[in-house]
Amino acid sequence: MTSPTAQVREQEAAPGGAAIHPVRGINHMAFPTFDPAGTIGFYRDVLGLPLVQTMQVKAWGAEYQRDFVHFFFDIGNADCLAFFYYFGQEPYRDKNLPPLLDLGKHVALHVDTLEDLDGFHKRIEDAGLKLQMRVMHETVESIYVRDPNDILIEIARPLRELTAADAVDAMVTAQALLDILAGDGEPTLDALWARKAELIASGVPA
Amino acid sequence: MTTLYFLDAAEFTDVSAVAAAQPGARVERLPGYVTVTSNGPLIVDRRATGVRHSVWYSALAAVGHGRVVQYDKDALKVEPTP
């Protein structure tokens, strides 16, 4: 008989995580914008993502609140990318964000096929926008472009489906990371590799 | 004995194969991983693997009883530790 722990691991290892939690994608991700014209032009007209909902809201509650317009672009699966435009708010941009942290913060949209990715590549170039990168990653191929709010937008297509091995490795990697962060030694990639090997050799992923 | 662990995924097959091809190396399949073990140093020539950079730099999943002394555009070299 399979142990409860093993059953959980089997379920967690299921590609896509189907049926083990009730979340069904992103309802919406929201960002402030100081350039509604550029934002609507970029998402609706360049990328072709329909504007599906807007709200105009009178300020209420906290004293820092301002009147605003909240607008939502469809990004598939009934998920949305949303923006707030606050009337009277001075534009703000963090110019001191280190490049590494800037690149680490981005939105990745999913497309299914190479043709879809090529289509967005062409849309971006035809609009005269700068394609930041086109990269073959490990399991996705991606293009990158900056939106008018300086948000880094990635569009990615899968190169293969994720497997149970990917999910198991994710669990092992996460456990190894937590272990080395909780330990006395300096947390490094070398320490992570070593701890992962210990966990695998001890049968943790089995 | 030093053991290199590679995720058992299509993109890493050429890396583990090159690692396994060196004299004295032994290959084993664990659930989810391919391991390459040797009593001596393990060296993988990146160009021999033919993989793109993103795959090369994420290929090493774990290292048992070894120290990574080189991992760059040319090679991965791991030496045994006690």
The residue ranges of every structural domain in chain A are 24-92, 94-161, 164-206
DSSP chain A: ---HHHHHHHHHTSGGGTTSS---S-SEEEEE-S-HHHHHIIIIIIS---EEEEEEE---SSTT---EEEEEEE-STT-EEEEEEETTPPP---TT--HHHHHHSEEEEE-SSHHHHHHHHHHHHHTTPPEEEEEE-SSEEEEEEE-TT--EEEEEEESS---HHHHHHHHHHHHHHHHHHHSSS---HHHHHHHHHHHHHTTTT-
Out of 3.30.70.260, 3.30.43.10, 3.40.50.1000, 3.10.180.10, which CATH number does the structure's domain A24-92 have? Answer: 3.10.180.10
Mutate to test the interface with B, among A12, A136, A138, A198 (most CBs of B within 10 A): A138
- B5 contact A CB<8A: yes
Give the distance from residue B38's alpha carbon to the nearest chain A alpha carbon, in angstroms.
15
Domain locations along chain B: 2-80
Instruction: Please report the pLDDT score of residue A3 as a whole number.
Output: 38
Q: What is the pLDDT of residues A6-57, one digit of tens each?
A: 444 455 555 555 568 999 999 999 999 999 999 999 999 999 999 999 999 9
- B60 contact A CB<8A: yes
Q: What is the pLDDT of residues A127-183, one digit of tens each?
A: 999 999 999 999 999 999 999 999 999 999 999 999 999 999 999 999 999 999 999
Give the ipTM of the model, two decimals please.
0.95
Give the distance from residue A15's alpha carbon to the nearest chain B alpha carbon, in angstroms.
14
Instruction: Give me the CATH code for the A94-161 domain, please.
Output: 3.10.180.10
Overall fold of domain B2-80: Phenol Hydroxylase P2 Protein (3.90.56)
